[in-house]
Amino acid sequence: MKILTRYILSQFFKIFFTCIFAFIVFFLIIDIFENYEKFIENPVPFGIIVSYFFSKIPFMIFVSLPMAVLLAVLISLGLMGQNLELVAIQTSGASYSFIVTPILIVSLLLSILSFIANEYVVPKTNYLTEYLSMVKIKKRKMDINPEFQLDKIWMKRGNTIYNIERYHPGDQKLEGITIYIFSDKFSLKKRYVSEYAEWNGNQWEFFNVTEYDFSESGNYTTEKFETLYLDIKEKPNDFKIVFEEETESMSYRSLARYIRNLEKDGYNASRYKVDLMGKISYPFVNFIMALIAIPFALLTGRRGGITSGVVIALVVALSYWVIHSICLSLGHAGTFPPFIAAWTANLLYMIIGGYLILALRS
């Protein structure tokens, strides 16, 4: 039986690694076409360019894993069915459980490895990518912590740079704001330091503001205001997008730490708890994809056609992503509790996949 298990897994891993390699090549080709102008404008040694693209590979693997697992299960088991290998295995006395259990165990291990990689490897390689892009290629100064945080965000819009300590989407409130306004020649014209700001529906109202007005010689004058309305074009959603991107880049530990700090200050952190739960539920999708693909692969193996099974399973997988995205959106809006928002799609498709496997056995 050990020989049969090794054979089943060898067929799975052949397709799996082929899919991973194909996805990496596909992503790299797209990335090269999107960034070639950057390398033309900023000539750098070839080694830097190679390092830049290689630093993106861990993230590419992370996002490719679920689809690679799905296709590996469908194609490997489908081909074994077409070649009557599944029939031969069952004739030897093996059950469906014997065939699918090794694949489910491997997919579960891949889910665990995916979580670990997203916690310890992907954030560091993403930071390396950003460092190579900013410092080595564009020759700019970079002041970004490898542990992306939501409490010290820099955001540039035109001639204005914002430094925001915290943003509370539910209250539409900014805390610890410093705004730098530059001239067209990128010389500092004004700097505003504000304790907090609130959106009144039409514009931002800043409180406890200190204004620094710089002359061309570099001297400045200061003026203090209890409240001040600034001509800021950015609306709450503009800041929300930046903070959501940072949430995706953070590790589980960093986001959990930020949530604790928010709750200590008395703020509602439910929106961020959804993202925290999502950092566990997303890697688990590898297992879900295997569970969904197995019954379709076994069914196509019986009927001798792989294409139809692949199409059906891809439709099911797409429906999973739609449901998962909707649930996360409802969680962000406060309609669903964080756990329900992050895990509803997983639990639903685990039930569907388990039912289909049991139905095939009967």
Q: Residues 238, 281: one domain?
A: no
Asked, for residue 350, whether it belongs to a domain, the answer is: yes
CA atoms in the 13 A half-sphere facing the CB of 202: 1
Structure tokens belonging to residue 123 = 């954030």
Q: Residues 178, 279: one domain?
A: no
Asked, for residue 322, whether it belongs to a domain, the answer is: yes
Q: Residues 47, 167: one domain?
A: no
Q: Residues 168, 59: one domain?
A: no
Asked, for residue 145, whether it belongs to a domain, the answer is: no
Q: Which structural domain, as residue segments, surrounds residue 290? A: 2-130+274-361
Asked, for residue 256, whether it belongs to a domain, the answer is: no
What's the pLDDT score for residue 143? 45
Stretches in the chain below the pLDDT threshold 50: 142-150
* One-letter identity of residue 146: P
Q: Residues 124, 154: one domain?
A: no
Q: Give the total number of structural domains in the chain.
A: 2
φ, ψ of residue 176 to 5 degrees: the values are 60, 60
Asked, for residue 33, whether it belongs to a domain, the answer is: yes
What's the pLDDT score for residue 137? 74
In angstroms, the CA 266 to CA 90 distance is 60
pTM over 0.75: no
Asked, for residue 293, whether it belongs to a domain, the answer is: yes
Asked, for residue 157, whether it belongs to a domain, the answer is: yes
Asked, for residue 258, whether it belongs to a domain, the answer is: no
Site of tokens 């000539």:
43
What's the pLDDT score for residue 301? 55
Reported for 153-162, long-range contacts at CB under 8 A and 24+ positions apart, including other chains, are 153/242, 153/243, 153/246, 155/239, 155/242, 157/233, 157/234, 157/238, 159/183, 159/184, 159/186, 160/232, 162/234, 162/239
Q: Residues 121, 6: one domain?
A: yes
